[in-house]
Amino acid sequence: MKNTPFTPSFLPPEEVRAEYLNLLKTWLDALLSYAVRDEKHPALDGAILCPACSVVHGRCGDAVYPLLCLARRTGDTRYLDAAKKLFRWSQNLLCDDGSIYNDSQSTWNGVTVFSALSLVKALKYHSSLLDPKEKAAWEARLLLHANWLKTGITVHKKSNVNYVAANAAAMALCGEYFSDGEMLSLSKELLHFALEHVSPNDLIFGEGSLLKSATAGGQCAVDMGYNVEETLPSLWDCAVSMKDEGALSRVRALARAHLCFMLPDGAWDNSFGTRNFKWTYWGSRTSDGCQALLNALGKTEGVFAEAAYRNLLLLKKCTSGLLYGGPDYRVHGEEACVHHAFCHAKALAQALDEGVNGFERQPLPSDAPYSCISYPEIGTARFARGPWRMTFCAGDFEYMKGGHASGGALTLLWHKIAGPVCAVACTDYSLKEAHNQQLTRKKRLEGSLCPRIELSADGTLYSQAYDFGADMEISEEGETAEATVRGRLCDISHAPMSENVSFLIQYALTPRGLSIRGRLGRPAPGARFVLPVLCPNAQEPKAEKDRITLRDKISVCAKDAAFTRPVFCLAPGFEAAEISVPLTGGEEFEVYIGAV
């Protein structure tokens, strides 16, 4: 199949800039509609109440930077007043050691680094909007944060790599602002420490463990959401501030490697990520976003500007006032958490403050119609064939029970016309970070979006997706990319059934569709293959003999296939129609997914 020609066109800077500004204004206007106005109670006045979580998220104070940015660009004093009130309110979470709490009910204070970054960027670009007394107060708070960060986040303290990178940026910017040599020295140390944590395929690892070989299978901890929305942007900011040409070149190369994980619609494939319980399809719930980084890189390499624009359009598509945590949140009746908007607004503000250029439209790496790539360091492989994109995972790093799917499970299937067909985050959604996630009230519809073989026995669920010891082989010949997976049905703790029920699954992807063939090693009554196909407002789909049609775009063909129920998962935020294929006896089953 030949690739469809990509028609270039030039997007003028004023058009791109307007997109950034309009989305920033949409988010901040929505945030202000949830701002608490209560002068009698300073502990509440100026805070932003979350309609999804019914609480005030402590990090809403980070919005001071985008609020000042918008105040300058619009001349509207509402944004300036809101920024000042929010700064005063966040004093309620400030500790006597200079750190700041994540929330009133959370002792985690690593987020001090994000408060510092927001303040230093606000002061760097917009301090003239503050009177001398206010500016001094903001600087004093920033200095408290920065002095705590000198010892609060170091290469010697256990943390995820995103915090190391963020503090590299904070120390660089604060060291420059205060002319503090100790901060600048620490920034350099943090920067180069983070840049040592790179896999053979140029993926940053450290979201769960900073060890290069952290598992029994020699794999490392990689999360695409945090890498592209926090770690890489922070490393770039640090390298720019430090004028470190070597680091700038290295971060650019890493960004190119990560860009391969952006889907043609601007989404980030984080289906295999260690922390994908916060995957939102467009990024990650509480990180700042990729926009500032991609905008900066795009000034010299147009492919990054293209990526920034496509992701921006996806963010816009998932916005209705606030930014929603996934494409189907509104359809499902879920509220939008304010966390997404006030975090990602910072990246939009930075892009605007650094200048947004026009660019020539061009293909992304994922637009290429044929590829077959293996990432052994995360037990993951990705195929492209014609209009289809596919990811499957046999990774064995456990960030949490019920975390990312493994066992060679299909974690992502995407089609050029139909869009996402399958998309899996965690196999079992739970509040790993209670203050940074949501709960659904529609508990009966909540479920896994993972295609998998499963079997319930004696009150325990055994699943292909729980197997952290599966073997996976990939190959390609002509227009077909193939994968063969051998494993065992395991419980959520990765222990196999006492009967030791093995499975074999073979995937074959062509430009026409995906064939999934498999069998169990022995008869297992009650076993089934489960295929959740993404479908907003999932109702019982059209069904003919051994053929089910969904959204009038996707067809599923399998003997005895049946619609079982609609399901929804908050990460990455999709509804699906769950289709079940019974596995009777020991014979082989086959499921074929194609486009209508």
Q: What is the DSSP string of 433-484?
A: TGGGS---S-GGGB-----EEEEEETTEEEEGGG-SS-EEEEEEETTEEEEE
- Number of residues that this document lists for the chain: 596
Please give the average per-residue pLDDT across 97-104, as a whole number.
Answer: 96
Report how far residue 567's alpha carbon sits from residue 574's, in angstroms, rounded to the nearest whole number: 8
Please give the average per-residue pLDDT across 356-385, as a whole number.
Answer: 98
- Tens of pLDDT, residue by residue over 133-159, are 999 999 999 999 999 999 999 999 999
Confidence (pLDDT) at 538:
81
Which sign, positive or negative, has the C-alpha torsion 221, 265, 408, 539? positive
Residue 18 neighbours by CB distance under 10 Å: 12
Confidence (pLDDT) at 413:
98
Please give the average per-residue pLDDT across 498-507, as a whole number.
Answer: 95
* Sequence-ordered list of residues with C-beta below 8 angstroms from that of 140, at least 6 positions apart, any chain: none
Report how far residue 545's alpha carbon sits from residue 534's, in angstroms, rounded to the nearest whole number: 21
Q: What is the dihedral of CA 384, 388, 393, 398, to 10 degrees?
A: 120
- Give me the chain's average pLDDT, please: 96
pLDDT band per the 50, 70, 90 thresholds, residue 592: very high
Percent residues over pLDDT 70 in the chain:
99
pLDDT band per the 50, 70, 90 thresholds, residue 562: very high
- Tens of pLDDT, residue by residue over 297-313, are 999 999 999 999 999 99
Please give the average per-residue pLDDT across 39-58, as a whole number.
Answer: 94
- Is it the case that residue 193 has pLDDT exceeding 90? yes
Please give the average per-residue pLDDT across 263-287, as a whole number.
Answer: 98
Which H or E run contains 149? helix 132-152
The phi and psi torsions of 177 (rounded to 5 degrees) equal: -65, -40
- Is it the case that residue 93 has pLDDT exceeding 80? yes
Report how far residue 60's alpha carbon sits from residue 130's, in angstroms, rounded to the nearest whole number: 20
Which H or E run contains 372? strand 370-375
- Is it the case that residue 8 has pLDDT exceeding 80? no
Domain ranges of the chain: 369-595
Residues 393/380, Cβ–Cβ less than 8 Å: yes
pLDDT band per the 50, 70, 90 thresholds, residue 7: low
Strand partners, 543: 548
Please give the average per-residue pLDDT across 107-122, as a whole number.
Answer: 97
Cis bond upstream, residue 13 (ω within 30)? no
- Amino acid code (one letter) for 182: E
Residues 213/199, Cβ–Cβ less than 8 Å: no
pLDDT band per the 50, 70, 90 thresholds, residue 4: very low
- Is it the case that residue 177 has pLDDT exceeding 60? yes
Please give the average per-residue pLDDT across 423-441, as a whole number.
Answer: 96
pLDDT band per the 50, 70, 90 thresholds, residue 584: confident
- Amino acid code (one letter) for 183: M
- Is it the case that residue 2 has pLDDT exceeding 70? no
Confidence (pLDDT) at 140:
98
Residues 340/324, Cβ–Cβ less than 8 Å: yes
Query: Which CATH number fits the domain 369-595, given the four candidates 3.40.50.2000, 3.40.50.1820, 2.70.98.70, 1.10.8.60?
Result: 2.70.98.70
Confidence (pLDDT) at 3:
44
Report how far residue 428's alpha carbon sits from residue 438's, in angstroms, rounded to the nearest whole number: 14
